[in-house]
Amino acid sequence: MTTDSTSRQADQIPPELLAEIEERITHYPVSKRSASLPLLHLWQNHFGFVDDTGIEWIATKLELQPVNIYELVTFYPWFRREAAGKTIIRVCRTLACAMAGSYQVREKFCAATGVDPHDHSHGFGHAPPTSPDGKFSVEFVECLASCGSAPVALINDDLHERITPETVETIVKELAS
Amino acid sequence: MVSLIPQPHPRERRVIFENISRPGWSNDIDTYVAHGGYEQLRKALGMQPQEIVDAVKAANLRGRGGAGFPCGIKWSFIKRDDGKPHYIVVNGDESEPGTFKDRYILHNDPHQLVEGVLIAAWALNVKLAYIYIRCEFPHAAKIVWNAIKEAKARGFVGKNILGSGFDCDIYVHQGAAAYICGEETSLIESLEGKRPYPRIKPPYFPAVLGLYMSPTIVNNVETLCHVVHILRMGPEEYSKMGTPGDGGTRTMCVSGDVMRPGYYELPAGAVTLGELINDVCGGLRPGRKLKAVIPGGSSAKVMRADEVYKIKGADGVEKEIPMLDVRMDAATLASVGTMVGSGGVMVMDDSRDMVWALNNLNQFYAHESCGQCTPCREGSLWMSKVTTRIMAGEGVASDPANLKTIADNIAGRTVCAFGEACSWPTQSFLAKFPEEFAAAASGGK
Ligand SMILES: Cc1cc2nc3c(=O)[nH]c(=O)nc-3n(C[C@H](O)[C@H](O)[C@H](O)COP(=O)(O)O)c2cc1C
Ligand code: SF4
Ligand code: FES
């Protein structure tokens, strides 16, 4: 992982993030280790990804070894060690959505955002496929628990339902503006 | 915020979704309290804890997370006064393909869940509860968290709840996009900050050795909401809504090839599969015929439309019934070799290719296996590779038999029930649609 001395995330923790981290740890009075996932979420939400200094910082904070955090970042698909696009489009791939056309929807999203549709790199801490301008990532994810309004996509924090190839264009235009 | 809230179908009986369907409903505490919210908590705090456990038992409430274990019996494994800390962990991971009910409760009626958690906490002597929500529901996490804060400000959560002397804190914990975290022991490991490798049972039954190795009750979101209504209606009236072994209403999440997909809350066993599809969901698209139904989330064994089942009636006499006459309750679906599971009903019409559908599910399981046990890690991947190969037109005649062998060597040989969950689709699709697999494997694609 590239972590040069000027971009070390651990050196750039703003006071608000630190306060949130301290507060979050209090939710786990029995074991601080339980705060691992919450801290990773707070970190990734702030920095966009978790670099090696982040892994070490969180481990030290929770009195763990770096490997205890590293093994989470490489297991849970949500976490990444590289920057993703500013907008992340997560298209549901699973049965109900596939029946309703999610494979075409993913391809349309790729075409509209410039993401390589043949790139399926994913997981183990990698960022999802991202457009050359860094604006968008598009990836397939598994069932988003909205099968009744298939096909769906989670775009950043918002669920978009009953997407059609035609509405993809509109959605991407709105996101880009 | 969350759009899919159709008005109730006349056959529905909305209990869990009653509030959500009210005109002008909003998810804040004032609205909830104005409609009788937290009155059952007040009532519970005046009851003996054992009375509550007994009421849940008498109500015949089964878990709504998938396994369908009787809730009252699970609760009675907790010895209230054993001096150990006890925990409640709410399973809001909702990841079983086809299932979409907890999403609406979490977003639109969070206080119903918080009240259910508190009643359970009093009954089980729990002072710390966590609500585990999949991270793909970021708004839900904020909404539930806000609901807890509102409830705390009113004295329903925290110290000395409603002057009873009882203390309980509740926190929201977010997952990180792994399906396996829905499995209860995996969820506990995840909550402990570890890789979510399921624990082996025995000895790690959550009620014995759960969170932080203490007695823990893991319940699904919907299950805990039902507890509020068991107290409100009384166990007798509540259980009358269902069948003798399956009390209350069940939320059926219907997706796929029907005219009106969506969630429908129906008394357990009140409708047959045919009534659900043709009446409640408006039937299939014009000109289409039914081909297959997965009745209880993607792991449930598939049913074929022209199948005829032999089942014993209440009078003990065996009779033959067509697939569409199967009642949607736990016992009936089990007796025809599948399960009501999490209530996710996936409908496929005659335009669907069963090899394609199975391949889709196999890819899901290959992606989601935690990798801890060899049969599941390797087998789920092999099954996915074989069906992918068949779809690419490169199948060989022995592929269906190989698929069956692989699946048969996973189920029953793994740490957790994901082993069954990933082999049942392959086993049942092959058994029910052998001709399609044979044709596709021998170059038919
Ligand atoms: C692979 C797997 C995935 C599961 N996913 C979920 C889930 O997403 N939500 C859920 O409530 N239960 C899920 N369960 C069932 C839980 O292990 C557990 O039985 C349930 O949460 C207990 O709650 P209940 O008794 O209220 O149903 C899953 C089980 C397995 C084996
Ligand atoms: S059965 Fe599969 S998911 Fe369950 S513990 Fe084993 S490898 Fe993990
Ligand atoms: S299959 Fe796409 S939301 Fe469930």
Residue range A63-120, pLDDT digits in tens: 999 999 999 999 999 999 999 999 999 999 999 999 999 999 999 999 999 999 999 8
Determine contact, residues B106/B133, Cβ cutoff 8 Å: yes
Percentage with pLDDT > 90 across chain A: 90
Percentage with pLDDT > 70 across chain A: 97
What pLDDT is attached to residue B6? Answer: 63
Of A75, A103, A122, the last residue of a domain is A75
Residue range A21-31, pLDDT digits in tens: 999 999 999 99
Determine, yes or no, domain membership for A82: no
Question: Least CB-CB distance to A33: which of B175, B193, B257?
Answer: B193
What pLDDT is attached to residue B443? Answer: 72
Pick the residue of B89, B360, B363 with the most A CBs within 10 A to test the interface with A by mutation.
Answer: B360
Determine, yes or no, domain membership for A81: no
Which residue does chain A place closest to B357, by CA atoms? A95
The neighbour count for residue A52, using CB atoms within 10 Å, is: 17
Q: Please indicate, yes or no, whether residues A121 and A172 belong to a single structural domain of this protein.
A: yes
What pLDDT is attached to residue B422? Answer: 98
From the list A71, A68, A61, A57, the residue with the least C-alpha distance to A28 is A61
Phi-psi region of B123 (alpha: psi -120 to 50; beta: other; left: phi over 0): alpha
Domain that holds residue A153: 87-176
Mean pLDDT by 10 residues, chain B (445 residues): 66 96 95 98 98 98 95 97 97 98 98 98 98 98 98 98 98 98 98 98 97 98 98 97 94 97 95 97 97 97 96 86 94 94 97 98 98 98 98 96 98 97 98 97 70
What pLDDT is attached to residue A12? Answer: 97
- Touching check for A36 and chain B: CB below 8 Å? yes
What pLDDT is attached to residue A176? Answer: 85
Which residue does chain A place closest to B101, by CA atoms? A145
Q: Would you say residue A122 has pLDDT above 80?
A: no
Q: Please indicate, yes or no, whether residues A97 and A129 belong to a single structural domain of this protein.
A: yes
Output the domain CATH number for residue A105. 3.40.30.10
Of A40, A75, A110, the last residue of a domain is A75
Q: Residue B421 C-alpha to ligand 2 middle, in angstroms?
A: 10
Amino acid at B316: G
Q: Which residues of chain A are within 8 Å of residue B94 when distances are taken between CB atoms?
A: 145
Atom of ligand 1 at shortest distance to CA of B66?
A: 15
Does B415 sit in the ligand 2 pocket, CB within 6 Å? yes
Determine contact, residues A15/A58, Cβ cutoff 8 Å: no
Atom of ligand 3 at shortest distance to CA of A102?
A: 2
Which residue does chain A place closest to B86, by CA atoms? A30
Q: Please indicate, yes or no, whether residues A98 and A52 belong to a single structural domain of this protein.
A: no
Q: Please indicate, yes or no, whether residues A65 and A93 belong to a single structural domain of this protein.
A: no
Q: Please indicate, yes or no, whether residues A60 and A98 belong to a single structural domain of this protein.
A: no
Determine contact, residues B162/B211, Cβ cutoff 8 Å: no
DSSP classification of residue B231:
H
Burial class (CB in 10 A: 0-12, 13-18, 19+), B256: buried
What pLDDT is attached to residue A7? Answer: 86
Q: Cα B75 to the chain's mean position, in Å? A: 18
Q: Residue B63 C-alpha to ligand 1 middle, in angstroms?
A: 9
Does B78 sit in the ligand 2 pocket, CB within 6 Å? no
What pLDDT is attached to residue B2? Answer: 46
From the list B359, B444, B375, B442, the residue with the least C-alpha distance to B408 is B375
Rounded to 10 degrees, what is the CA torsion of B150, B152, B156, B159? 180
Q: Please indicate, yes or no, whether residues A16 and A62 belong to a single structural domain of this protein.
A: yes
Determine, yes or no, domain membership for A16: yes
What pLDDT is attached to residue B83? Answer: 95
Q: Please indicate, yes or no, whether residues A125 and A66 belong to a single structural domain of this protein.
A: no
Of A75, A106, A131, the last residue of a domain is A75
Q: Please indicate, yes or no, whether residues A92 and A170 belong to a single structural domain of this protein.
A: yes
Q: Please indicate, yes or no, whether residues A102 and A51 belong to a single structural domain of this protein.
A: no
pLDDT (average), residues A25-39:
98
Determine contact, residues A114/A136, Cβ cutoff 8 Å: yes
Q: Please indicate, yes or no, whether residues A41 and A112 belong to a single structural domain of this protein.
A: no
Burial class (CB in 10 A: 0-12, 13-18, 19+), B100: buried
Tokens describing residue B331:
């016992």
Q: Residue A56 C-alpha to ligand 1 middle, in angstroms?
A: 33
User: CA A162, A163, A165 angle in degrees (round to 5)?
Assistant: 140
Determine, yes or no, domain membership for A29: yes
Number of domains in chain A: 2
Q: Please indicate, yes or no, whether residues A147 and A171 belong to a single structural domain of this protein.
A: yes
What pLDDT is attached to residue B312? Answer: 84
Determine, yes or no, domain membership for A80: no
What pLDDT is attached to residue B1? Answer: 41
Instruction: Tell me the pTM.
Output: 0.97
Ligand 2, residues B185, B188, B195, B197: which to mutate, most atoms within 8 A of Cβ?
A: B197
Atom of ligand 2 at shortest distance to CA of B369?
A: 3
Helices (H) and strands (E) in chain B, counts: 17, 11
Nearest CA to ligand 1 atom 23: B219
Q: Please indicate, yes or no, whether residues A92 and A171 belong to a single structural domain of this protein.
A: yes
Determine, yes or no, domain membership for A141: yes
Determine, yes or no, domain membership for A138: yes
Does B216 sit in the ligand 1 pocket, CB within 6 Å? no
From the list B221, B18, B17, B19, the residue with the least C-alpha distance to B113 is B221
